A and B are shown apart, each in its own frame.
Chain A
Amino acid sequence: MRIAALFSGGKDSNYALFCAQHYGWDVTHLVSVFSTSPESYMYHVPAIELTRLASESIGIPLIEVVTPPGPEAELIPLKDKLKELGIDGIVSGALASEYQRRRLDQICQDIGIKSFAPIWHKDQREYVREMVEEGFEIMITGCYAEGLDGSWLGRILDENALGSLDRLHKKYGISVAGEGGEYESFVSFGPHMSRHVRIEYEKEWKRDSGKIVVSKAWLQ
């Protein structure tokens, strides 16, 4: 089974890729979508430039797709690119968003390939905990929800951070997995990677949300 993994560098796409690799499938490409929109409808923006380093560490070539703004327009270049890859299907990190999954399923249907989502509807809290236990280094790269202040930017999820997210879930109802867009993440290391992605960054905070601005990144 030849598969392309939709890859943002965040935890969900990394774990979907990891699952596909351990299904015994041949993951031939990582596909990252760079939207010219400041607020992408489907793919998160703040850390996407790091995907090139992550791809090198994972050892699977990266295909970069630049899309214009707009929820539907974004999909056209992605569909065109997937059609060229000679793959049987894609794997995505769709977790709970019907919006994201339906659109991916539709473009795959259009071009006659399969659309796999290994973490779809899994228990979000458990899934993030398992990732941390399995050795994934998940860094918070953007915060967009009440309760997540600037101190979360650049934080690596560990037992303490997960406990804090549980408390914030109780208080504000935020998703521990960030599925509601509460936070964005970047996986700087994991069992599927050969080297750590190291990052120097500044924090950029505006009113009640913020993100990291990467000044330097390298493989260690």
Chain B
Amino acid sequence: MLIKNSTYYDGSKIVKGDFTNGVSDKEFDASGKFAFPAFNNGHTHLAMTLMRGAGDGEKLQQWLDNTIFPTEQRLTPDLVYKGSMLGLLEMIKTGTSNFLDMYYFVEETAKAVNKAGLRATLGTPITSFGTPYYKNANDALRIAERQLKNMSPGMVRYCVAPHSIYLNDEETLIRAKALADKYNAWLSIHVSETRKECADCHKKTGLWPIEYLDSIGLLGENTVLIHAAWLTKMEIKLIADREASVIHCPVSNMKLASGGVMPLPELLAGGVTVGLGTDGASSNNSLDMREEMKIGSLLQKSHRWDATVAGTRTMLHMATLGSQDLAFVSLDDVRMLPHHDLISNLVYSGGVVTDLIVNDRVIMDGGQILTFDEEKVKTEFMEAAAELLK
């Protein structure tokens, strides 16, 4: 597609004029708009939009035990589809075109992603206990393999997503990695989110979580470590040596009071690929990557007493890893004025996303979603959310 009359960020500098994105010969007039790589949300539980605001303010374990786990036992494929559709609506409205997800009834989320026209890599959260989606870890692994085996080229990819060290036994973790390797897929796993998780792992194994994962062969180039909020320098070196990636979820970590702060400068200095993720809408509570960039930057600066770390370009790079798509904001948006530094405006000040182009296709045009009926999605979602929490 030929993007005409645009002001755009090419990954290193702001450029004005026309440029191409994708292979079609269609044209998109971007006059008066700032184009930037659409966001890639590195960690979500998309359909948790259904639980947004439920149990807010509770301590992590109480929140999980009293609100999240019991509610998730009532999930159905239909509810997950409707929750996913609303999550996708929010992503489009905030400039996200791609995401790495971990949630139940993956087929429903895949259906929603295809309907919306975005990209996603989806994984079933594998746990040792049963869920409405599967009986046990063995069953979950079987479902994950079925998804990988049947994966066809397209906008939806699959990955293997063992939930965490603490919700899986060692054998399951090892089998999950073997499955990811067999199908050349990502393996994503929550790790080192809380001090308790680290201390429990150390008590049980004598090793810190990353060290433990490495000892059982879980770290590799296809491993995506989610959170990594509490890391020792030895663990940072292991992640770098094994070329694993890390997803930073600053808002979720702060909201759930994890206490730790991912050592971003140390990881980047070690050459580690670090992305940004919102986590689910029930622990954030949005899926807005612009907020994630801003708050992530502020958290690092505040935590380290250092205004030079986590700069705007770094945050935008982390928020748009591998992006092939385009999002647009109006250059006349009040939060984009003046134009001293458009990247800084985008990261710290914001601006309403007006358009989204994904895989050579306009998904949102001047705020209007072209792939589905926004109002219908909202109506159905409200009914689904009420049904789930009744």
Contacts and interface: CB of A to CB of B under 8 A. Distances in A.
Interface stretch (B142-150, B193-201, B219-227): B193-201
Contacts of A170: none
B199 A135 contact: yes
B266 A130 contact: no
Interface of B: 195-196, 198-199, 202-203, 230-233, 235-236, 259-263, 265-267, 303-306
A24 B305 contact: no
B233 A24 contact: yes
A191 B202 contact: yes
A48 to B, nearest CB: 26
B233 A26 contact: yes
Which one of B196, B259, B267 has the greatest number of beta carbons of chain A within 10 Å? B259
Given A24-B266, A25-B263, A89-B305, A134 B230 contact: no
A133 B232 CA distance: 20
Interface residues of A, number: 16
B209 to A, nearest CB: 10
Given A1-B266, A1-B304, A133 B233 contact: no
Given A114-B304, A130-B196, A133-B196, 6 more contacts: A22-B195, A23-B260, A23-B263, A24-B235, A26-B233, A135-B203
A21 interface: yes
A186 to B, nearest CB: 20
Contacts of B198: 22
Contacts of A89: 305
Contacts of B259: 19
Contacts of A19: 259
A24 B195 contact: no
Contacts of A130: 195-196
Given A114-B305, A191-B202, A191-B203, A23 B196 contact: no
A22 B202 contact: no
Contacts of B265: 1
A114 B308 CA distance: 14
B382 to A, nearest CB: 37
Nearest to B231: A24
Interface string A12-51: 0000000101111110000000000000000000000000
A25 B305 contact: no
B207 to A, nearest CB: 11
A146 to B, nearest CB: 32
Interface in A37-86: none
Contacts of B235: 24
Consensus secondary structure, chain A interface? mixed
Nearest to A26: B233
Given A1-B266, A1-B304, A133-B196, A22 B232 contact: yes
A21 B236 CA distance: 11
A21 B233 CA distance: 7
A134 B232 contact: no
A134 B195 contact: yes
Contact of A134 (B196, B233, B262, B263): B196
A130 B200 CA distance: 11
Given A22-B230, A24-B232, A114-B305, A191 B260 contact: no
A26 B195 CA distance: 18
B199 A134 contact: yes
B226 to A, nearest CB: 16
30 contacts: A1-B265, A1-B304, A19-B259, A22-B230, A22-B232, A22-B260, A23-B231, A23-B261, A23-B263, A24-B231, A24-B232, A24-B235, A24-B262, A24-B263, A24-B267, A89-B305, A114-B304, A114-B306, A116-B305, A130-B195, A130-B196, A133-B196, A133-B199, A134-B195, A134-B196, A134-B199, A135-B202, A191-B199, A191-B202, A191-B203
Which one of B199, B230, B266, B267 has the greatest number of beta carbons of chain A within 10 Å? B199
Interface string A124-148: 0000001001110000000000000
A114 B203 CA distance: 32
Nearest to B309: A1
Contacts of B231: 22-24
Nearest to B263: A24
A1 B261 CA distance: 13
Nearest to B306: A114
Contacts of B233: 21, 24-26
A24 B265 CA distance: 10
Contacts of B306: 114
> Which 4 residue pairs of A and B lie closest in terms of their CB atoms, listed nearest first?
A24-B263, A134-B199, A22-B230, A24-B231
